[in-house]
Each structure stands twice: as structure tokens, then as C-alpha cells.
Chain A
């Protein structure tokens, strides 16, 4: 339907005074489509979380019987924890890698390889990533078996790979490349002249990092770390493929509610969770945008 409308709008010839109204039809398909598949779902979430079964306004879904229930709050905490840890570790590791790349030959093979690989690996997620790690250090993996034969059984206290700590580790696999991609421009923006100027003015390496490079890179670093946080917070597929229990992180909780009896009894709950997720990510992304804007002034 949308394609056909676009085609007719494109093919219609212009006739003098009807020009303006005809122009508008060129935009209609896009707006109809986004209204139906972007704004409508969002509206459904918003409205659904704020109404009860009879359609009247209610805040029940946000209260102690809604998302403030203890098990859901625990889930939220777990999500925030994983996001914070994978965000921070990913940010630091990614920043180090970005620095190692930026200090090399800008046209060299190494740099091109790392940036392309980062582009690929930041893609690599979800089910395939979960299975990759299962193949690597899962209970049936070569590494685990070999280590066990040598006397080191790292699953002695349970298979942590399938729990929250496992998820955090696995998330690093796409967090670090993402950090490289978004932080590298900032590191590239550090000019060698600033280092040399610091030296000529009597400063050493510590002075340089403390007063020049550090302050210059901090806003971008923080912004990118926030980005990684939002990224981790929103991730679903990897955990879904790994964890078979009820739902220790928010995305899994949502999927649980969508497919279970509890969910059908409280339709507003899943929507309220979704709403909460959207708010969190929105706040984080706004901060990210603000920090990046500051950086672009300095490190063009």
C-alpha cells in the first residue's frame, strides 16, 4: 500500500495551482507508515501502562503492585548492574584499545583491520554470540574440558556462564568494539602539538594526562560509557538464548510477561516495564548527546 502510493505521487504531473496540495501527497506514505508502526506502538505502550482493563486512567502499573513489586525491582537492579559493569569495563577496555589504535599509523593495515573488525563484532550479538561463548567456555567446550583435566573446574560452584556474570562477560564482546567505534574519533582529535606544547612548557607525561588529554577526553569517554550502558540495558537476544530461568533482567521479564499467564492477567505491567525502559534509555541518550556536543567543540 505504501509503495503504490509513493509511486503514484511520484508519477503525477504537476498542474499549476494544485501544485502545493499535490506536493504534500509525496510525504503521506512515510507519515502514515511511521504513524502506524512507530507512533502507534509507542502510544499503545504509554496508554496501556496508564489504563486498566476498563480503560480508565490508573497508576497501578507503576505502583507497589506493578513494576515496584520486589521481584521486578530486583530485576531492574540486576539489569542496571549488568549494564553498569559491562558499560564501565567495556568503556575502559575499549578506550585502551582505541588509544592503541590511534597511536599507530593512520593509514596502516592494523588500524583498518581493527576498525573493520570492530564494525563487524559490534554487530555480532544475540543468539549466535551466546552460542559462540557456549562453544568457547561452556560445559562441553574444549577449554573447559582441558582445564578440568588439569584440575581446574571453573564451574565447580555452578555454571555461571548461564547466569548474570556470564551475561556480563559475553556483553563485553560487543561493548568493546562499540566503544572503539564511538570513542576513536575523540582520541583522533587529540593533536600531537598539545603534547609537545605541554613538554615545551615544562610538563611531563603525568601533567599532560592530568591537565590536557584527560580533561579533553573525559566528556567523550563518559558519553560513550553511557552509550554502552544504554546498549547493554536494551539487549535481549543474548540473554534469551542463554538463560532458561524465569527472567533475571528486565528484557527477559518483559518477554516473560508477554508469553505467560501472569502477563495476560496484567497486560498493563509489560507495558509499564517497557515504558520504564524507554524512559531510562531516553535519559541516558540525552546525556550522551550533550556530552558529545561539548567534545565536538574541542576535538573537531
Chain B
């Protein structure tokens, strides 16, 4: 691929700041004071369930909706009161991105036409950016002649052609098939890195967010619950919501004492500090649950029967019934093969730090 994209000064990423953004619709608060800074060239993913405000945040940044409070600052300039068509952004939608009456290259050239780029330069740039997304051969096709994945790639090309300051992606993969999703996801990241553009990526799919983002912001009910690199979000969730939304969690009752939490005979360190002693629910990741051995003649709090084994390729997820609770263990498939459904096993918990929910927290997040 040509390296011309990252080398021009105007193509270097810019800083984007969202300061205390608020948006209400009547009595509903869609966004309740969001503050977020995107470093130049960074890809931040906003992750959360529907209604959490992630799309609202994106649309406020785009200028497609007006904020009820707060500021949007792009490259040091306050654009809160600037209409969408003058914010210099590029946007890819979840569906119906392309104009149906224009071919792929006409779609791409349209933005350039609006920016008063002359015809020859338009053609050249359109070709270049379609090449970047690998669709130069489809330049003369219409939307209804292309697959969903191809349409989204053209939409990406169209957004990038005008060399915007920020790239906004509103769940661009949600409407696509699973296989296409994975490939396109990596494609988007590759292009984003090559161009070096500051990007906001909104999704409800945590796998997507964790796979491509520099930082992930998990949102719920209009607020940002946690913001950090994917590994941190996954292994050190700071709230129960994040712990349960991102990855799987086993809810295992235990007792907080001696600076940690005792769960079924095993002492586990805590992620949080200053948790009061007493009963709590620990959120244990399936990867932290291992099968220590055969449980035929054993007894104890971690001995139980295998109910089901879900084959997921390289790993398998084993569901074990411990009598009072059911627990998910995740282990390499070869290891899981020794313990088919119906067999008795003895589990062990790895001493990874865990998040706990105390009584108040449980009722609050329930």
C-alpha cells in the first residue's frame, strides 16, 4: 500500500475532547456528563448495551444532534455550536451507508465534490482510497450489486477520501454476517493505523471492541463506567457491570476477610481496595477455574459433576454443577476431553485478583 497517507502534515491525527457532554430527550437522560479525550491517532471504542448512550455520544461528536450541555473540541477548536457539515468529520453508519443511485466511485467522489476538489484530483483520490480498502475493481458497482461487507468498505473509503480530522464509526459491523465481521474488523483497524486518523468506534460487541481498540470505554445508562486499554478492562474491571458485560463471569458467594475474599476454601486477592469484611459475591473468570483432577472419590466445596462441555475450537467451556451453584470453567480442549459430561471433577481456582459485589453493590446493580 502507498505510504502517502501518513506522511502529509494534514493527515496526522488530532486530539478530540468531549467535555461533560449531556443529552436529554424529554425526561430521559441519554448522556449524563461524558468526559473523554482521544489522543491523536488513537482508536477509542465505546462499548455498552443498547441505550447506554454510546451512539448518542458519537452523534454529538458528529454534530448530528445538539448537546444540552458540555463541549466538543476537535484539534483545539470548540465545535460545539458548529453544524455537522462544517466539523470536518468522516462517518460510517451501521446500515444504508451508501447512496443507492451512485456507483462506488461516485459515492466516494461525492464528498470530494462537496469540498470543491476539481475533477481530475477527485478521480485520483477516489481511486487511491478505494485501493486502500481493496475495492478498486468494484468502482463502478452500485450498492445493490455489492455485499454488505463491500458496501461498508466503500463507506469507509468515502469517509476517508475527504481527509477528515476524526473518523466516526457507528456499529459498522453489526449488520454483517459473523465471518465477514471478523475480517472487516481487522481491515478497518489496518486502514485506521495506516492513515493515522483519530477514531471513535461504537459497538455493543465486546469482542470487537477488545480486538481493535487502543482504549475501550464501557458505558452504561449514559455514564462511562471504565476507560482503559482492552487488557485492563478485561482483567481488571473496576465495576461489577464491566466485569459482567466484558467477558464471562462466574458469580461465586464468598467471605471477605484478611484483605482478600475466601471462595469455597480458596483465598483470592481483591481488585478493589477497602472492601468491608463480610459476605460478598466474587466475579471469577472461567479461565481462572481449572480442573485439578478426577472427583470420583473426593468431596469438598469444589467438587462437582460435569453437566455440559461446549466445544469452542481451541478452548472448551465446561459447565460444572457444584450442588448449590453452577460454574463455568474454560480450558484447552485437550484437557477438557478427559472430563466428559457426567463425570465428577475437582476444581481449583487460580489466585487471580477478582472483583466482588458486596450486599449494597449487589442490590444497586441488580
Contacts and interface: CB of A to CB of B under 8 A. Distances in A.
Given A196-B64, A202-B85, A202-B115, A297 B144 contact: yes
Given A193-B95, A196-B64, A201 B111 contact: yes
B110 interface: yes
B110 A199 contact: no
Contacts of B84: 196, 199-200
B355 to A, nearest CB: 39
A197 B155 CA distance: 9
B96 A200 contact: no
Contacts of B91: 196-197, 200
Instruction: Kindly state the interface size class of chain B when it binds its partner.
Output: 20 to 34
B227 interface: no
> Which of A194, A197, A200 has its CB near the most chain B CB atoms (within 10 A)?
A200
Nearest to A299: B100
Interface in B49-74: 62-64
Given A200-B62, A202-B86, A204-B85, A193 B115 contact: no
A220 to B, nearest CB: 12
B99 A197 contact: yes
Contacts of A84: none
A contacts with B: majority SS: helix
Contacts of A211: 110, 113
A191 B90 contact: no
Given A200-B159, A204-B85, A216-B101, A193 B96 contact: yes
Interface residues of A, number: 21
> Which of A197, A204, A300 has its CB near the most chain B CB atoms (within 10 A)?
A197
A264 B142 CA distance: 59
Contact of A203 (B96, B97, B114, B168): B114
B101 A298 contact: yes
B158 interface: yes
A9 to B, nearest CB: 44
A283 interface: no
> Which of B91, B97, B101 has its CB near the most chain A CB atoms (within 10 A)?
B101
B266 to A, nearest CB: 52
A56 B85 CA distance: 72
A200 B84 CA distance: 6
A300 B142 CA distance: 14
Contacts of B101: 212, 215-216, 298
> Which of B83, B97, B168 has its CB near the most chain A CB atoms (within 10 A)?
B97
A269 B159 CA distance: 64
B246 interface: no
Nearest to B95: A193
B327 interface: no
A202 B96 contact: no
A202 B97 contact: no
Nearest to A294: B101
A207 interface: yes
Contact of B99 (A194, A200, A202, A300): A194
Interface string A198-231: 1111111001000110011000000000000000
B100 A200 contact: no
Contacts of B93: 193, 196-197
Interface in B144-190: 144, 155, 158-159, 162, 168
B96 A194 contact: yes
28 contacts: A191-B96, A193-B93, A193-B95, A193-B97, A194-B99, A196-B84, A197-B91, A197-B99, A199-B64, A199-B83, A199-B84, A200-B64, A200-B89, A200-B90, A200-B91, A201-B85, A201-B111, A202-B86, A202-B162, A203-B85, A211-B110, A211-B113, A215-B101, A216-B100, A216-B101, A297-B100, A297-B144, A298-B101
- Interface pairs A-B: 10 shortest CB-CB: A201-B111, A298-B100, A200-B91, A191-B96, A199-B84, A202-B114, A193-B96, A193-B93, A199-B85, A203-B114
Given A196-B84, A212-B99, A298-B100, 16 more contacts: A191-B96, A193-B97, A196-B62, A196-B91, A196-B93, A197-B93, A199-B83, A199-B85, A200-B84, A201-B115, A201-B159, A202-B86, A202-B88, A202-B111, A297-B100, A300-B144
